[in-house]
Structure 1
Amino acid sequence: MTLSRRTFLIGGAGAAAAGTLAVGWALFRPDRRLDSRTAPALPESQIALNGWVLVGTDNRVTIVMSKAEMGQGIHTGAAMLLAEELEADWAQVRVVQSPIDRIYINRENLVNGLPYRDDDPREHVEFVRDFARRTSRYFGSMVTGGSTSIEDLWLPMREAGASARMMLCTAAANLWGVPVDACVAKAGRVAHAPSGRQATFGQLVPLARDLPHPYAPPLKTPGQYTLVGTSPKRLEGKAKLDGSLRFGIDVLPADLPRQSPDSPPTALLYASVLMCPTLGGKAASREVSVQGLAGVHRGFAVDGYNGGTGGVAVIADNPFIAMRALCGLRVDWDHGPAAKLSSADIMQTLERAIEDSSRQTYYEAGDAGAALRRGRARHMRYEVPYLAHGALEPVNCTALVNGGRATVWVSTQVPQAARQAVADALGLGADDVTVHQAYLGGAFGRRLEVDYVAQAAVIAAQMPGKAVQTIWSRPQDMTHDFYRPACVAKFSGALDGDGNLVAWQADSASQSVTAQVLPRTYGVPAFAARLMPDGTMAEGSFDTPYECPNVTVRHTRVDLPIPVGYWRSVGHSHQAFFVESFIDEMATAAGKDPIAFRLALLKRPEHQRHAAVLRALAEFSGWRQPARWKERGTEFARGMALHESFGSIVGQVAEVRRDGRGGYRVTRVFCVVDCGLAIHPDMVVQQMESGIVFGLSAVLEQAVTIRNGQVDQHYFSEVPLIDMETCPEIRTRVMASSGPAPHGVGEAGTPPIAPAVANAVAALTGARPYRLPLRQPPALPEAERAWPGDRWCQWSSSL
């Protein structure tokens, strides 16, 4: 038997280590996530009842939020969990960003990456998952990612709310001399019905302040929910509409600390950077001459931090002066090892790696090789490119360094790792660094990185006592990202005489994100990171629910000097395209309806959630056969896909039509999602729409291509986004809860859209797409390829 990651964890060496693990596991104290060591800076009128909630004497309920809000709605969704158990008045609820503290560490992020299938032995799976949660308690980090936020906060938020409610009820009972169980909280008040007495939370909280914190309080059952499952207005929605919400780039002098209340605002300077055009390169000289440039304070070389690329920086009075100063610089570059790589070479390397003997078996059942030789085998090859994150808020960070301390204001998904990165870059202790976490203007995984945070701190250290905001131009962001890995895959499948899928073999190759992220962001030794399994490379393929008697899923890790990072839905973003395109082609070869073909592969009880989503999708979309038809002389076609990621099952139907230029246009998308308990159904719909638009942008025209280690794409015009004109009509149905707990939705809408559209295009044109994007991306004119290539430089020179 081939040794796989799952084999190691479930049996074999994993079983041999179980005794040692169990001993360590038993030594862990019960995991309590109520009390924090660090309180948020709030007025004295706000009294903390635990590390997650404060109640003010003015009746305001302040919920401490450990996750980054980047448009996904986590501040509202998580606050609803706590407010539900607290019985708070939703109109009185607000949120503040948490400080960095151990109780806010994400316990589900590591669990989510474990290489398990739903047919693995449950006792082993639950043991390792619980052990991973307890390990994360001591060695984990504050992370907003992996669609784990609501799962991570599902228990602690509810326990915090219930614990605070019990304290307030106890305070009321003590005040009135009545039994605690006779006091009932509702809508921000505690009442004693027999006597008719009641008091607001604000009146009771001073009396509850010093009461013992109840642990493991009784929680509501789903049937008792009054807030969860509804769709109240988002807490940050009004501030976004009126422009008062502050993102990282919105830091102003008034936001900075003053030496005294009467002193003038702290000066805020601005920095712009020009990094080596070759990924991983650096400036060949440390000398940067900016003498005689008005408004410019300093120019200097900067190293590449935490996996980033080195370059030069200029500090000036405003960002425009800094950017324009860079336009006139002539820098000699040390291009480094990536200078030898181009996209064609990379794809050839990945192609060869598929057959590499070092490939790792992620899942194996039966004998796929023998079954392929016996049946009617079909073979496919798929390819996807590198992709940039392209968050709308430019990469930025404001830093103030003075007297052995540093303060940063930054939009980040990893505040704890950002703090450590600043400390390491400046030679400080982590306790000497303060991180103010701002709202994020999009992220999609880019702000899981800390390269720009460390860089900004080092730049600010050049001007001690003065705050410096470093802002990257759009070309610097596009050409110095941590990209979604390119991937090549080969699939083979066989049908029996009745058109049933009897064999399936999948081989793919890509770089490993985890092998890069662990050393550069968390300080794990590179050799140790390489030994750790990276489930993200093959997720969505090895753990698919489809039932086939003979399956082999393998993946080869390839090392290349191209920086890669977690992109929205990670490995699911390409493995879903491979798997669902493959399944659709096998259905076509069998002469069967794509939905019926899939339903035949979902017979086991544990796969009935998937089958239910498929049936609901067929009904909701008005699924029809044939998949291609005409209306008023215009050709239409439909394609569908089903995919599970982050615990949520999503089915999508994409409709395409011929346009007048011989191409096609996506006109409608139908989406059905089973995400377990939908905390805020409207936000689930919003996230499905967001994931579809994000994924569709990549499907149609987005690709990052590399020539001599340099990224070709500089602007959104070269990686086009779906806009209002090109966006299809999107209809979403959120299925009734299939369980008592919620699952992730921030990324789950993205994976199915690529295969759904590709399957529709195959039906429309008769030619199946095997490569993304489906259309050739627009190219940057040759005249603009000379570095730095900033149209800003060309435009500003004419001012």
Structure 2
Amino acid sequence: MTINTSRRGFLKGAAAAGAVLLVGVRTDGALAATTAETAQFNPFVKIDADGTVTAIVKHFEKGQGPATGLPTLIAEEIGLRMDQIEYEFAPSDPQVYNNLLFGPFQGTGGSTAMANSWLQYRQAGAAAREMLIAAAAQGWDVDTSDVTIEEGIIKAGDNSAPIREFVAAASQLEAPAEPRLKELSEFRLIGNDAVRRKDSAIKGNGQAMYAMDIHLPNQMIAMIKRPESRGGLAISFDDSVSKEVKGYINAAVLPNQAGVAVYAENTWAAIQARDALEVEWDMAEAETRHSDQIKAEILAALDAAPTYNVNKADVAAVSAAIDKADKVIEKTFYFPLLAHAPMEPLNCTIEQTADGNIVLHDGSQMPTGPHMAYQQIFGLPAEKIQINTMLAGGSFGRRATPDADYQVEAGLTFVVTDRSRPVKLVWTREDDMRSGYYRPAFGHKVRVGLDSDGNIVGWQHQVAGQSIMKGTAFESFAVHDGVDHSSIEGIADSPYKIPGMALGLTDTPKATSVLWWRSVGHTHTAYTMETMMDLAAKAAGRDPVEFRLAHLADDSDSDQRRKAAVLKLAVEKAGWGNAPAGRAQGIAVHKSFGSYAAQVVEVSGDPETGIRIEKVTCAVDCGIAVNPDVVRAQMEGGIGYGIGHVMRDQITLTNGAVDQFNFPDYEPLRIGDIAAIDVHIVPSAEAPTGVGEPGTPPSAPALANAINALSGVHVAELPMAENGVNFV
């Protein structure tokens, strides 16, 4: 695998190989094809003169699978085996490599990689196939309808040749405007269980290059001394003790005063010198609140009238209906701040080339952000900024901040030097745990009224918490009529048909810096909705599955039909209602990012001596499962991520400073925490949707419902280990 740094470098490298076929789209979205020497666009498919086919992957790889999924689409349409296609990461160029669901912005997130690339990459592959076929038909003097490509071999009657024989001729043809896409029945790779990840081998044998693996000649290591509480400003520093550290170079206050950069010859020297640095801080605007104060603010907001009536309901009428109900279930939920805690700590490397270009080597989740920021920091045009996208060891949203935080830090750290030496910025895990970005704290207050037959007559739902999108570059399309949709997603757009729903939202002051976290608002809305559905079913004396299906009964509604189907598959595969003696099951089902996921968690033990998670059964409908092996892996990872955090984790503040520092007091899921996970994929002909995040939302409420079924204990405040539930 090779990784490109710029459009110019990409085309230059392609041209060096001789005759090359490039297929992609112009800025107007039209398909185009040409040779490297004359390319006026950025391609998705590159076929070298020797027949090597390369997919240019516009979504970066942090473990979720686009480096396998996007090549699969191209290989399928051309007619290749998976071992006959390579991949490279696209250069930073939002004009062509933009995320179609993000607008004019190149980035990976929101489980959109496959959803927005599905047709784009298939069309590019199909265009390349038709051009190769046309070239072969001309060379053999046969009709194009008689020519096929199978496993990289072009065939027509007694004629056959590897695709390399026709690359030069194909590169002289125009791309077809509307190439024929293969039918579902023709797929040989898409949906094939035998297709394995393209990046597994290099990750297993150590050849994979992560951002942390970059080591440029003569580079310096930089670390930042940051204030204990967000918002502090560096005034001055004393490095007299730091100078005694072998390998220490110097230190400088960042231009934005957000910290002091410490430069050293190696990482250990940078850590030691930074620890020895004495900094004078201006803490006048810093965060000073305790976690208890933040929680009190959120709970107080739940007791007051909401700022926004999200669904424009008659709140008084809904409240009155609940007051008159035969039974009323009322619960208040609290969700603490959470860290992302990816396995690879944040890092990136920046250098200036001989021709004055600035090059960033980074596991860049949203390259457009740092690309734009660097134009301002260095006063350079866009074409003088290059981003070399590397593999990343996880993210869960952390590497995609609206302000490109760590990349801007690297830029500021570099711009104050003479730029003669590359600078590698390294965050320790403690840095990110204490000075990073967090899943915002949220509260929910829900009142549900049931009639004498156990039917819902009213659902009043108050939400209060810290907006992720307000005050960022994403506010214009994520916030409407004052409502940040990420705060109430999963409630406002729930497929459940719930009579008398009133949904209110209040924004509360942000604690430190908040950010999207794997599945964003669905992390807390799914927990609230699905545990309340269980409590309502229990109060109505009805089976939790039957109760949910009663609110998904409209078969003409695609949302309800698909959510009901995934629920039925999960309970069937889990053997719902037939748990062994001493065990109990909990169910949850949720739609997020266009996908539907249902999970049954089976537990044993008790909250006092310890709950054991015996099994999680998951069913997912993500449309066409391009790579079933990747889908299952993402569901398993999402389940573990969701369950691990609700079991034990939270970020707390004392005088604005984060208390946790590393995995000993912010413990990730352990391999033994879940005995087994069983994933089932709903067969579908629908276009693919996301899988990176949808496994997370239903996992925690399914666990909570299982614990409630086993012991009668309902956990409304997280984490569970701090609120009455122990685990073994």
Q: TM-score, normalised by structure 2?
A: 0.90
Cα deviation per residue 1:508-558 (whole Å; 9 max; x = unaligned)? Answer: 01111111442xxx7x799x9796642111001111111122111221222
User: What is the CA–CA distance in structure 2 between the aligned matches of 1:530 and 1:507, rounded to whole Å?
Assistant: 18
1:313 aligns with 2:275: no
Q: Which residue of 2 aligns with 1:389?
A: 340
Where 1:642 maps in the other structure, the secondary structure is strand
User: What is the CA–CA distance in structure 2 between the aligned matches of 1:621 and 1:550, rounded to whole Å?
Assistant: 33
Q: Which residue of 2 aligns with 1:583?
A: 533
Where 1:448 maps in the other structure, the secondary structure is coil
Q: Which residue of 1 aligns with 2:161?
A: 199
Structure 1 residues 192 and 532, CA gap change in structure 2 (3 angstroms): farther
- Alignment equivalent of 2:432, drawn from 477, 485, 488: 477
User: What is the CA–CA distance in structure 1 between the aligned matches of 2:281 and 2:234, rounded to whole Å?
Assistant: 5
Where 2:439 maps in the other structure, the secondary structure is coil
Structure 1 residues 405 and 620, CA gap change in structure 2 (3 angstroms): same
Where 2:351 maps in the other structure, the secondary structure is strand
The Cα shift of 1:673 comes to 0.8
1:616 aligns with 2:569: yes
1:553 aligns with 2:503: yes
1:342 aligns with 2:342: no
Where 1:687 maps in the other structure, the secondary structure is helix
1:459 aligns with 2:459: no
Instruction: Give the letter aligned to residue 716 of structure 1.
Output: F
The Cα shift of 1:747 comes to 0.2
Q: Which residue of 1 aligns with 2:54?
A: 62
- Alignment equivalent of 2:107, drawn from 143, 146, 170: 143
Q: Which residue of 1 aligns with 2:132?
A: 168
Structure 1 residues 638 and 78, CA gap change in structure 2 (3 angstroms): same
Gap regions ≥5 residues in structure 1: 1-35, 110-135, 254-265, 779-799
- Alignment equivalent of 1:107, drawn from 100, 110, 123: 100
User: What is the CA–CA distance in structure 1 between the aligned matches of 2:624 and 2:171, rounded to whole Å?
Assistant: 33
Q: Which residue of 2 aligns with 1:726?
A: 673
> How do 1:465-504 residues align onto structure 2 when only pairs under 5 Å count?
465-504=420-459
- Alignment equivalent of 1:435, drawn from 378, 387, 406: 387
Structure 1 residues 293 and 777, CA gap change in structure 2 (3 angstroms): farther
1:49 aligns with 2:41: no
Instruction: Give the letter aligned to residue 722 of structure 1.
Output: L
1:272 aligns with 2:223: yes
User: What is the CA–CA distance in structure 2 between the aligned matches of 1:280 and 1:525, rounded to whole Å?
Assistant: 25
The Cα shift of 1:434 comes to 1.0
Instruction: Give the letter aligned to residue 156 of structure 1.
Output: Q
User: What is the CA–CA distance in structure 2 between the aligned matches of 1:400 and 1:531, rounded to whole Å?
Assistant: 43
User: What is the CA–CA distance in structure 1 between the aligned matches of 2:116 and 2:485, rounded to whole Å?
Assistant: 19
User: What is the CA–CA distance in structure 1 between the aligned matches of 2:589 and 2:520, rounded to whole Å?
Assistant: 17
Cα deviation per residue 1:610-639 (whole Å; 9 max; x = unaligned)? Answer: 1111221221111117x8x74xxxx32221
User: What is the CA–CA distance in structure 1 between the aligned matches of 2:719 and 2:245, rounded to whole Å?
Assistant: 44
The Cα shift of 1:561 comes to 5.0
Structure 1 residues 240 and 777, CA gap change in structure 2 (3 angstroms): farther
Greater alpha carbon shift after TM alignment, 244-253 vs 417-426: 417-426
Greater alpha carbon shift after TM alignment, 282-291 vs 71-80: 282-291
Q: Which residue of 2 aligns with 1:154?
A: 118
| Contact 1:53 1:61 survives alignment (8 Å) | yes
| Contact 2:239 2:276 survives alignment (8 Å) | no
The Cα shift of 1:356 comes to 5.0
Q: Which residue of 2 aligns with 1:249?
A: 212
Structure 1 residues 711 and 224, CA gap change in structure 2 (3 angstroms): same
Greater alpha carbon shift after TM alignment, 490-499 vs 508-517: 508-517
* CA RMSD in angstroms, aligned pairs only: 2.3
Where 1:514 maps in the other structure, the secondary structure is coil
Instruction: Give the letter aligned to residue 23 of structure 2.
Output: L
User: What is the CA–CA distance in structure 2 between the aligned matches of 1:164 and 1:343, rounded to whole Å?
Assistant: 57
Q: Which residue of 1 aligns with 2:184?
A: 222
The Cα shift of 1:377 comes to 2.1
Q: Which residue of 1 aligns with 2:30?
A: none
| Contact 1:38 1:100 survives alignment (8 Å) | no
- Aligned residue pairs total 684
User: What is the CA–CA distance in structure 1 between the aligned matches of 2:239 and 2:707, rounded to whole Å?
Assistant: 53
Greater alpha carbon shift after TM alignment, 176-185 vs 97-106: 176-185
User: What is the CA–CA distance in structure 2 between the aligned matches of 1:141 and 1:269, rounded to whole Å?
Assistant: 31
| Contact 1:446 1:482 survives alignment (8 Å) | yes
User: What is the CA–CA distance in structure 2 between the aligned matches of 1:300 and 1:328, rounded to whole Å?
Assistant: 14
The Cα shift of 1:661 comes to 6.3
Where 1:245 maps in the other structure, the secondary structure is coil
Instruction: Give the letter aligned to residue 439 of structure 1.
Output: L
Structure 1 residues 435 and 41, CA gap change in structure 2 (3 angstroms): farther
| Contact 2:64 2:692 survives alignment (8 Å) | yes
> How do 1:252-651 residues align onto structure 2 when only pairs under 5 Å count?
252-253=215-216, 266-285=217-236, 288-289=239-240, 290-302=242-254, 310-357=258-305, 359-363=307-311, 367-375=317-325, 376-401=327-352, 404-449=356-401, 450-461=404-415, 462-518=417-473, 533-560=483-510, 562-605=512-555, 606=557, 607-624=560-577, 630=581, 635-651=582-598
| Contact 2:224 2:262 survives alignment (8 Å) | yes
User: What is the CA–CA distance in structure 1 between the aligned matches of 2:666 and 2:508, rounded to whole Å?
Assistant: 25
The Cα shift of 1:653 comes to 0.9
Cα deviation per residue 1:430-474 (whole Å; 9 max; x = unaligned)? Answer: 322111010010000000022111111221231412111111111
Structure 1 residues 240 and 378, CA gap change in structure 2 (3 angstroms): same
User: What is the CA–CA distance in structure 2 between the aligned matches of 1:506 and 1:389, rounded to whole Å?
Assistant: 28
Instruction: Give the letter aligned to residue 89 of structure 1.
Output: R
1:710 aligns with 2:657: yes
Instruction: Give the letter aligned to residue 487 of structure 1.
Output: F
Q: Which residue of 2 aligns with 1:750?
A: 696
| Contact 2:238 2:278 survives alignment (8 Å) | no
The Cα shift of 1:651 comes to 0.7
User: What is the CA–CA distance in structure 2 between the aligned matches of 1:293 and 1:768, rounded to whole Å?
Assistant: 53
Where 2:722 maps in the other structure, the secondary structure is coil
| Contact 1:55 1:201 survives alignment (8 Å) | no
Instruction: Give the letter aligned to residue 390 of structure 1.
Output: A
The Cα shift of 1:39 comes to 4.2
Structure 1 runs of 4+ aligned residues shifted over 6 Å read 528-532
Instruction: Give the letter aligned to residue 567 of structure 1.
Output: W
| Contact 2:599 2:616 survives alignment (8 Å) | yes
Structure 1 residues 288 and 216, CA gap change in structure 2 (3 angstroms): farther
| Contact 2:651 2:658 survives alignment (8 Å) | yes
| Contact 1:365 1:549 survives alignment (8 Å) | no
The Cα shift of 1:214 comes to 1.3
Greater alpha carbon shift after TM alignment, 83-92 vs 743-752: 83-92
Instruction: Give the letter aligned to residue 317 of structure 1.
Output: E
Q: Which residue of 2 aligns with 1:261?
A: none
Q: TM-score, normalised by structure 1?
A: 0.82
1:766 aligns with 2:716: no
User: What is the CA–CA distance in structure 2 between the aligned matches of 1:77 and 1:339, rounded to whole Å?
Assistant: 43
The Cα shift of 1:361 comes to 2.7
| Contact 2:253 2:259 survives alignment (8 Å) | yes
User: What is the CA–CA distance in structure 2 between the aligned matches of 1:638 and 1:303, rounded to whole Å?
Assistant: 56
Instruction: Give the letter aligned to residue 107 of structure 2.
Output: V
Structure 1 residues 299 and 424, CA gap change in structure 2 (3 angstroms): same
Greater alpha carbon shift after TM alignment, 615-624 vs 440-449: 615-624
Gap regions ≥5 residues in structure 2: 1-6, 25-42
Cα deviation per residue 1:149-202 (whole Å; 9 max; x = unaligned)? Answer: 100101100100011111111111222222222222222122222xx1122211
| Contact 1:425 1:458 survives alignment (8 Å) | yes
Instruction: Give the letter aligned to residue 48 of structure 1.
Output: L
1:71 aligns with 2:63: yes
Structure 1 residues 483 and 236, CA gap change in structure 2 (3 angstroms): same
